[in-house]
């Protein structure tokens, strides 16, 4: 495929993904509300819901491009928890009135579970089922914590969709859901097809490309979700996005991606990318225990992202 055609395919595919991802969320939430699902349950189930990363990862897995599949999980998570959360803290340092410590353990366990399951160099379909069961247990745990005072509220696109949802338009929402799913799949196929040619032209490994360039382009909107909330004095929404992203990426998305097709996990992911990501999640949890994320802490998180992004090129 000519390079210019590949770049055009990649760009159009990315545009389709970013445009229809938000519409898929609105369709999914509108359909759920229309069929009588409670807003609380929607908030818990859709916490961290990120259809663009799921679509790209699933298609990458189906096409046998493991670097893109894994990049949509690990690389995208680093954009959310290190780059976006770090920049948010640099611009608007965050202070939290309360931080339920049990919640801080859940993201750490999610990343650890994926690391342990992939240690044999492969995420199998059985591993995918285990990850999905882990997601279900996490959701049940969040619901249990909520009954004991933890305030779980929707954020970002899910919150906007709940505000505008109309119970009388469930079939319209369902149609939007189906259309958006189709558009995401088409866009993801275009993106992956273009990416394989671009990867070859740049002389990069698919793992490095997926973990850095692709993950950044698909997930940088995480900054738009976290920064405004912190600047409005609602840092708990920013942190909720971090927790939700980890659960969605490492359990739900990873589980479904492995079910589509077993994903080989190369040595670079096991020895560098996953350990750096795991360490970053631990750092975020430790910072949250202090009930504040200062500018220096934000700088540390951005530095960790830079290490993650650059280390793959020089390693």
Residue 145 has pLDDT above 90, yes or no: no
Q: What is the mean pLDDT of residues 90-114?
A: 82
User: Under a CB-based contact definition with an 8 Å cutoff, are residues 280 and 302 in contact?
Assistant: no
Query: What is the reported pLDDT for 19?
Result: 85
Residue 281 has pLDDT above 60, yes or no: yes
pLDDT, one tens digit per residue, over 208-219 is 999 998 888 888
Query: What is the reported pLDDT for 262?
Result: 94
pLDDT, one tens digit per residue, over 180-205 is 889 888 988 988 888 888 888 878 78
From 225, 247, 246, 253, select the one nearest 68 (Cα to Cα): 253
The domains found in the chain, sorted by start residue, are 3-314 (1.20.1420.30)
State pTM to two decimals.
0.84
d(CA 55, CA 17): 8
pLDDT, one tens digit per residue, over 218-245 is 887 776 666 666 666 666 666 676 777 8
Using 50, 70 and 90 to split pLDDT, how confident is the model at 54? Answer: confident
Using 50, 70 and 90 to split pLDDT, how confident is the model at 37? Answer: low
């Amino acid at each position: 495929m000519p390079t210019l055609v590949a770049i055009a395919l990649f760009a159009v595919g990315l545009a389709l993904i970013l445009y229809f991802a938000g519409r898929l969320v609105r369709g999914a939430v509108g359909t759920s509300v229309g069929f009588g699902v409670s807003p609380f349950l929607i908030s818990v189930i859709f916490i961290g819901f990120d259809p663009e990363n799921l679509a790209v990862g699933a298609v990458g897995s189906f096409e046998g491009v493991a670097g893109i599949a894994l990049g949509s999980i690990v690389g995208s998570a680093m954009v959310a928890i290190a780059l976006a959360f770090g920049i948010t803290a640099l611009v608007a340092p965050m202070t939290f009135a309360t931080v339920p410590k049990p919640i801080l353990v859940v993201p750490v366990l999610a990343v650890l579970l994926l690391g342990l399951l992939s240690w044999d160099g492969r995420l199998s379909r059985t591993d995918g089922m285990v990850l999905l069961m882990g997601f279900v247990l996490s959701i049940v745990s969040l619901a249990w914590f909520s009954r004991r005072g933890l305030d779980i509220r929707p954020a970002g696109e899910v919150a906007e969709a709940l505000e505008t949802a109309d119970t009388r338009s469930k079939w319209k929402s369902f149609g939007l859901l189906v259309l958006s799913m189709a558009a995401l799949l088409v866009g993801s196929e275009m993106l992956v097809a273009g990416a394989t040619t671009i990867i070859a032209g740049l002389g990069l490994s698919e793992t490095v490309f997926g973990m850095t360039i692709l993950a950044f382009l698909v997930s940088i909107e995480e900054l738009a979700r976290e920064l405004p909330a912190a600047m409005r004095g609602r840092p708990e929404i920013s942190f909720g996005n971090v927790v939700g992203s980890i659960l969605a990426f490492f359990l739900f998305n990873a589980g479904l991606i492995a079910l589509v097709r077993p994903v080989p996990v190369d040595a670079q992911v096991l020895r560098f990318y996953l350990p750096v990501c795991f360490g970053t999640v631990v750092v975020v949890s430790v910072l949250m225990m202090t009930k504040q994320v200062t500018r220096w802490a934000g700088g540390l998180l951005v530095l960790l992202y830079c290490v993650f992004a650059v280390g793959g090129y020089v390693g």
